[in-house]
């Protein structure tokens, strides 16, 4: 970890809080802190650039809980929406879950009236969030990447070392730094905080297609269940744009690699489908796949400690479990809000040691633990073909699972 140096440029902004990362967690924390009249500088590593397919990232799903968090944040769901999917933040919404179970049974369930999941272009969604942050008084600097923390001899975080778009390195100081830089956080790496999570050692691949025989229609989320906890889910994101996510355990993936050889991800995907669902394999072989591809492994991880002297970690930088429930963004938005509340209290007491952020720790824990329990159960159940087939046959079981996904957890809404 770098100590404060004198031979680098120094940024003289009078920041009270530095936020690393202008994603869901970072914007949420920054906006709530600015509402408390704190001087916030948000550093986003990505520079503004023309839209591209990778902006879609994983074409993520915004759960009803995320939509609620966005409304609290003042994000207008009717923000401008253009025709080009690369130029818009909201792609489509769905309210029907179509599933094919391991025994071949097919079911379709509808969400209660008026409840929808949204799918987004994450690049644009984040741009809109950063605009909202700017309008709320946050100083947003795009194209500025944090490369290290600044810590004094006692290990207290005093600010960050950053690199701007021209490559100039400089230091910024503030009493509190919020790390919201996601799963590849520089802070996680530098402080060695990442820990494995046994149940969540999964691999995920995201494929995008422009043509797909038998493709899902608008408004429908498709999910195919295979043996060994493997699942394929996807939907139409925009005209001639489909996204499918293929997820499995690392054990299962290693078994395939041993069986089929070290094939590139798209070929491995087709080889597994040939074995598990030949009809689907035929459709995907005839499909036109777009070059953009995302791969994550292991998907889930835990973070040893999310509060430190002068430093608070939020969103994925504070740990991530599994995309099964589509609640990553919801949790990022909410943990940003909880962090801001606790940091506000630290300012009112003028104390920024680790214990000053205990409220955040408690509230985050109350939020995370039920989700961890629910996900563990869900993942274990999804490894059993028998249990999956029972769910396929029993509408109340399916309704109960969907009910969990659309729950908005009123206890934490105050
Ligand atoms: C396969 C997969 C599928 C998923 N699907 C869903 C889904 O459908 N729905 C859902 O809600 N969630 C989903 N998630 C989870 C979701 O993507 C994350 O939980 C969410 O993006 C976390 O938000 P965040 O703000 O913490 O981090 P991020 O979204 O990663 O944002 C971090 C920001 O920090 C910036 N940054 C990074 N490093 C630096 C640096 N050094 N300096 C400055 N800036 C930096 C990045 O450019 C980025 O803008 C999925 C995850 C995976 C792996």
- Whether residue 88 sits in one domain with residue 192: yes
Which pLDDT value is given to residue 267?
Answer: 96
For 352-388, write each residue's pLDDT tens digit.
999 999 999 999 988 877 877 888 888 888 889 999 9
**Average pLDDT value for the chain:** 90
Which pLDDT value is given to residue 81?
Answer: 66
Confidence band for 394, pLDDT divided at 50, 70 and 90: very high
Which pLDDT value is given to residue 414?
Answer: 43
- Whether residue 372 sits in one domain with residue 239: no
Last residue of a domain, which of 295, 315, 349?
295
Which pLDDT value is given to residue 412?
Answer: 46
**Binding site membership of 22 for ligand 1 (Cβ less than 6 Å):** yes
**Binding site membership of 20 for ligand 1 (Cβ less than 6 Å):** yes
- Whether residue 49 sits in one domain with residue 170: yes
Last residue of a domain, which of 251, 273, 295?
295
- Whether residue 407 sits in one domain with residue 337: yes
Looking at the structure of the chain, the number of domains it has is 2
For 179-188, write each residue's pLDDT tens digit.
999 999 999 9
Is residue 189 pLDDT above 60, yes or no? yes
- Whether residue 65 sits in one domain with residue 147: yes
Q: For atom 51 of ligand 1, which residue has the closest CA?
A: 323
DSSP H/E element including 249: strand 241-249
- Whether residue 314 sits in one domain with residue 191: yes
Report cis status (omega within 30 of 0) of the bond before 144. no
Tell me how far the alpha carbon of residue 91 lies from the centroid of ligand 1, in angstroms: 18
Q: Please give the average per-residue pLDDT across 55-83, as a whole number.
A: 83
Is residue 218 pLDDT above 60, yes or no? yes
Which pLDDT value is given to residue 4?
Answer: 52
101 assigned to some structural domain: no
**Binding site membership of 205 for ligand 1 (Cβ less than 6 Å):** no
**Binding site membership of 329 for ligand 1 (Cβ less than 6 Å):** yes
For 267-322, write each residue's pLDDT tens digit.
999 999 999 999 999 999 999 999 989 999 888 899 999 999 999 999 999 998 87
Sign of the Cα pseudo-torsion (403, 407, 411, 412, in order): positive
More confident residue, 124 or 20: 20
Could you count the other beta carbons within 10 Å of the beta carbon of residue 91?
22
Is residue 209 pLDDT above 50, yes or no? yes
Distance in angstroms (rounded) separating the CA atoms of residues 23 and 150: 22
Of the candidates 139, 164, 182, 170, the residue with the CA atom closest to the CA atom of residue 30: 139
407 assigned to some structural domain: yes
- Whether residue 309 sits in one domain with residue 291: no
Of the candidates 269, 235, 264, the residue with the CA atom closest to the CA atom of residue 252: 269
* 0.95 surpassed by complex ipTM: yes
Which pLDDT value is given to residue 32?
Answer: 98
69 assigned to some structural domain: yes
- Whether residue 173 sits in one domain with residue 120: yes
215 DSSP assignment: P
28 assigned to some structural domain: yes
Tell me how far the alpha carbon of residue 260 lies from the centroid of ligand 1, in angstroms: 31
- Whether residue 151 sits in one domain with residue 246: no
410 DSSP assignment: G
- Whether residue 263 sits in one domain with residue 161: no
330 assigned to some structural domain: yes
For 261, the domain range is: 213-295
Tell me how far the alpha carbon of residue 241 lies from the centroid of ligand 1, in angstroms: 21
- Whether residue 182 sits in one domain with residue 34: yes
Percent with pLDDT over 70 in the chain: 95
Alpha helices (runs of H) in 182-302, residue ranges in sequence order: 186-191, 250-260, 265-276, 278-286
CATH of the domain at 407: 3.50.50.60
Which pLDDT value is given to residue 233?
Answer: 95
**Binding site membership of 328 for ligand 1 (Cβ less than 6 Å):** yes
């Amino acid at each position: 970890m770098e100590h404060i140096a004198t031979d680098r440029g120094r940024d003289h902004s009078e920041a009270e809080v530095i936020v690393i990362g202008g994603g869901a967690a970072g914007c949420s924390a920054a906006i709530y802190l600015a509402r408390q009249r704190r001087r916030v500088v948000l550093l986003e590593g990505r520079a503004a650039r023309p839209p591209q397919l990778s902006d879609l990232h994983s074409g993520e799903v915004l759960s009803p809980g995320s939509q609620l968090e966005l409304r609290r944040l003042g994000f207008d769901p009717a923000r401008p929406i253009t025709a080009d999917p690369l130029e818009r933040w909201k792609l489509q919404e769905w309210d029907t879950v179509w599933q094919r179970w391991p025994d071949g049974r097919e079911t379709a369930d509808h969400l209660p009236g008026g409840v929808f999941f949204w799918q987004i272009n994450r690049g644009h969604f984040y741009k809109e969030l950063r605009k909202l942050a700017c309008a709320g008084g946050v100083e947003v600097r795009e194209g500025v990447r944090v490369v290290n923390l600044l810590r004094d001899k006692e290990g207290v975080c005093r600010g960050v070392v950053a690199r701007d778009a021209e490559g100039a390195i400089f230091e910024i100081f503030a009493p509190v730094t919020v790390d919201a830089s996601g799963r590849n956080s520089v802070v996680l790496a530098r402080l060695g905080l990442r820990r494995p999570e046994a149940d969540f050692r999964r691999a995920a691949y995201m494929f995008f297609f422009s043509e797909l025989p038998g493709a899902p229609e608008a408004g429908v989320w498709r999910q195919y269940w295979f043996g060994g906890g493997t699942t394929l889910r996807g939907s139409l994101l925009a005209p001639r744009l489909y996204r499918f996510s293929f997820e499995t355990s690392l054990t299962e993936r290693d078994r395939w690699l041993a069986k089929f050889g070290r094939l590139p991800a798209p070929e491995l995907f087709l080889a597994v489908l040939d074995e598990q669902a030949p009809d689907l394999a035929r459709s995907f072989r005839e499909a036109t796949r777009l070059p953009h591809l995302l791969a994550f492994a292991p998907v889930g991880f835990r973070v040893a400690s999310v509060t430190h002297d002068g430093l608070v970690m939020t969103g994925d930088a504070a740990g991530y479990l599994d995309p099964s429930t589509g609640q990553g963004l919801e949790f990022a938005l909410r943990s940003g809000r909880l962090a801001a509340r606790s940091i506000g209290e630290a300012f009112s007491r003028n104390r920024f040691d680790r214990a000053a952020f205990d409220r955040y720790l408690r509230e985050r824990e109350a939020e995370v633990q039920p989700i961890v329990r629910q996900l563990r159960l869900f993942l274990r159940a999804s490894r059993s073909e028998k249990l999956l087939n029972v769910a396929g046959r029993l509408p109340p079981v399916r309704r109960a699972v969907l009910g969990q996904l659309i729950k908005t957890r009123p206890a934490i809404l105050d």
